Amino acid sequence: MSKHTETKRGEGVKIVAQNKKARHDYFIEQTIEAGIVLSGTEVKSIRLGRSNLKDSYAAIENGEAVLFGMHISPYERGNIFNRDPVRDRKLLLHRREINKLLELTMQKGLTVVPLSVYLKRGKVKIELGVARGKKLYDKRDDAAEREARREIDRRLKERFLH
């Protein structure tokens, strides 16, 4: 198991990659699960934990959901079957889900970002988040809140250890 592998809420779901930067840069208003169209060597590479969601995003193009910028490292034993590591990949969603995403992204400031890639019942799935960008002061507030929580935990731990 790689360092990014963990089980999600006991559902037999193995998280392969997470986009921690997305939760830092955006307020996630809604999440949705989507399948993804991949080649065989890409699936093998993802199973080995060799994918990266940093700087990736999803959009609706020609009535289809497409994921841009996701990096999947080439599979070592894939030779001629390996694909471009950062190619655009089609997302598998129902028509009503695509329409809902299109409607939400038409609103001011909303975008669709991938939050995590995981394996669910042998299939590669992507958790998408409909997100609103954070301002700098929002990020500072979050950092201050996180630091305060850490300090409280440290003090409680000290108190119970002594």
What's the CA gap between 102 and 122, in Å, rounded? Answer: 29
What's the CA gap between 116 and 41, in Å, rounded? Answer: 20
pLDDT of 91 higher than 70: yes
- What does R_g of the chain's alpha carbons equal in angstroms? 18
What's the CA gap between 101 and 98, in Å, rounded? Answer: 5
DSSP 92: E
Average pLDDT, the chain: 85
Note the pLDDT of residue 130: 92
Residue 26 phi, psi dihedral angles, 5° rounding = -135, 155
- Nearest Cα neighbor of 83 from 122, 124, 37 is 37
The domain made up of 6-134 is a member of CATH 2.40.280.10 = yes
Model pTM? 0.73
Q: Which of 113 and 80 is assigned the larger pLDDT? A: 113
Note the pLDDT of residue 62: 92
DSSP 161: H
